[in-house]
Amino acid sequence: MKWLSLLIVVLLVIPLAHARSDEENDSCGILDLAECIPEKLYDFFSDVISVPIQPLLAGVESLLTADVSIRIFHYFWSVIRYMLSLFYVFFFSYAGYVLLFANSSAIQRAHAKELLRNTVLMIIFINGSFYFYGLILELASVLNTALFGFIENDFFQFSPAAILNAHLYLGTVIIYAIVLFATIILLLLRYVFVSIAVVFLPIAIFMYFLPPLKYYGRFMLHVIMLFLFITTAHILIIITCSLMVDIPLLKELSVLFAIACFLIIDYTFVLAIRFATRHAIQLSVRDNVRKTIKYIGMMAA
């Protein structure tokens, strides 16, 4: 009986001592079951709730550094290029006629020289636009991947220890997931737009080298370049937020900085879309058609 009593005492004391001496490992003793079980259940459900965030973070990283594929649109780009090439004969014929045969004024000859120069540049840039655009996309992807390497992985992660209570932690996780999901949707829209933009790039170049339509072409080129390099600005925003979190006073607020960072990214997307739509609405087709007719009439006079 004495040995049995001693064994029972040892069994009771060892778990208690282990729990007291190793609290950092969250070990549970017999006397701590009332406190340990709720904590373990809380950690378990926290992990379950945090699981959906991991693929969302992986999706954001993949879309920020993705090399946009444009090969599937090569056929459509070729069709647009062929249709635009029909105008080259007219431009060359008219410019050559004015320069060689017509007894025209100095202003008309200057316009003809400008048209001839613009047509040559137009042919070069339009025929090489697919390959130039693909090279720019590859360089942007390499740049984004290199910049993303400066971001520490723990910036995107957070634990319940950084949150005051279970309800606040659950709410923070839900908000974080919603913001990440919205970011992925916007990044997907950007990916699709940048892919399709290679088809409209020859049209933008064609308009840019025609004086009456130059504003249209410049606007289209600005929008394409804006959405092409907007992810680079997003990665710089994330790097800035991660550097701010390294400050000891702000370390416990890393999750709030992560949420705020992705909200800023989403807001920049909204600003970019507003810029594109607002300027597209402000373009006056009637005025530019009138200018085009006036320009052609002035050259033909």
Q: Check residue 151 and give its pLDDT.
A: 82
Q: Give residue limits of the domains in the chain.
A: 58-300
Residue 181's alpha-carbon distances to 36, 153, 189, 232, in angstroms, are 34, 19, 13, 19
Residue 7 tokens read as 């064994």
Residues 6+ apart with CB under 8 A from 258: 155, 156, 158, 176, 241
**Model pLDDT, residue 79:** 94
Which residues, 6+ apart, have CB-to-CB distance to 156 below 8 Å?
A: 57, 258
pLDDT value at residue 194: 94
Q: Give the pLDDT confidence score for residue 162 in this predicted structure.
A: 47
User: What is the tens place of the pLDDT at every residue in 48-65?
Assistant: 556 667 788 888 888 998
Residues of the chain with pLDDT under 50: 1-26, 33, 160-164, 286
